[in-house]
Amino acid sequence: MINTTNMLKYSFLLSVILVVAGVSETVAQSAEISPQRKQAIDSLALEKVRDLSKYISIIGNKETPFSEAQRVMDRADELFAEGAEMGVSSLNREEIDYYTIRKYFERLMALNYDRVNIQWYDIHYISDLERQPDGRYVGVVTVYQRFEGESDDGLNYKDTTKKDITIYVERKKTQIQGRTIEFWDVLLGDIRVTETTA
C-alpha cells in the first residue's frame, strides 16, 4: 500500500523548497512572472496534479481504510480553489455530471465495486499561463484517466477519460519573522471531461 504519510511529507517539503528557492517574492517586487520563476511554478502545478492523481487512486482503492481515505480527502481538498468541480462521465450515457470536489471524493469511495483501479498518465500543459485582469495567471493541464472497476458478481467497467484541469496561479501573503512576504501559489480549478473512450 502507498505510504501516504511519506507522500504528504514530500508534498509539503516540495512547497517549502520552492519558496526558499525563489518562488517567494517581497511585496515591493513586480507582479510579473519571470521565466525562471514561471518554470518553478509550472513544475509545482504539475506536481500538484500528480499528487491529486495519487490521492484519487488511494481514495478509490477499496482496500484503503476509511480513516486514511478521509485524511487523504482533506489533503486533496487543499489543492483546489474554492468552488472547483470535477466532471464525471460514463460510456453508458452522453451526459457529463459535475460535482464539488468533496462530493466527487465521497462518490468515488461509495462506488459499487469490489476492486477499483484509477491511473492518470500523459500529464502536460495544453495552454500556457496567461495573465488575467485580476492579476492571476490561468493555464490548462490535460490528463488521461484510466478507470477500472470490478465486482465479484461479474460487474466490470473500464474507460479512459481525457480531462482538462484549470490551473490558477495567484499571489498570496504570509508573515515570516515579522516581514510580509508575497509568493505565488498554485491552485487547481475545475476539471472538465473532454473525451471518454473504451
Q: What is the pLDDT of residue 126?
A: 94
Q: What is the pLDDT of residue 21?
A: 40
DSSP code per residue over 59-105: HH-TTS-HHHHHHHHHHHHTTB-TT-EEEEEETTEEEEEEEEHHHHH
Residue ranges of the chain whose pLDDT lies below 50: 1-2, 4-5, 7-29
Q: What is the pLDDT of residue 42?
A: 93
Q: How far apart are CA 156 and CA 150, in angstroms?
A: 4
Contact 196, 180 (CB under 8 A): no
Q: How far apart are CA 196 and CA 8, in angstroms?
A: 31
Kindly calculate the radius of gyration of the chain based on its CA atoms and give it in whole angstroms: 18
CA torsion through residues 50, 52, 55, 61, sign: negative
Give the count of alpha carbons within 13 A of 94, CB side only: 0
Fold of the CATH domain 4-197? Nuclear Transport Factor 2; Chain: A, (3.10.450)
Q: What is the pLDDT of residue 174?
A: 92
- The per-residue pLDDT for range 159-170, each reduced to its tens digit, is 999 999 999 999
Q: How far apart are CA 137 and CA 131, in angstroms?
A: 4
Residue 57 sits at φ, ψ, to 5 deg, of -60, -40
Q: What is the pLDDT of residue 31?
A: 67
- The per-residue pLDDT for range 55-92, each reduced to its tens digit, is 999 999 999 999 999 999 999 999 999 999 999 999 99
Taking residue 24's Cβ as centre, other Cβ atoms within 10 Å add up to 17
Q: What is the pLDDT of residue 34?
A: 87
Domain-by-domain residue ranges, the chain? 4-197
3-state secondary structure of 4: helix
DSSP state of 32: S
DSSP state of 34: P
- The three cell numbers locating residue 177: 519573522
Residue 94 sits at φ, ψ, to 5 deg, of -85, -30
Residue 111 sits at φ, ψ, to 5 deg, of -55, 140
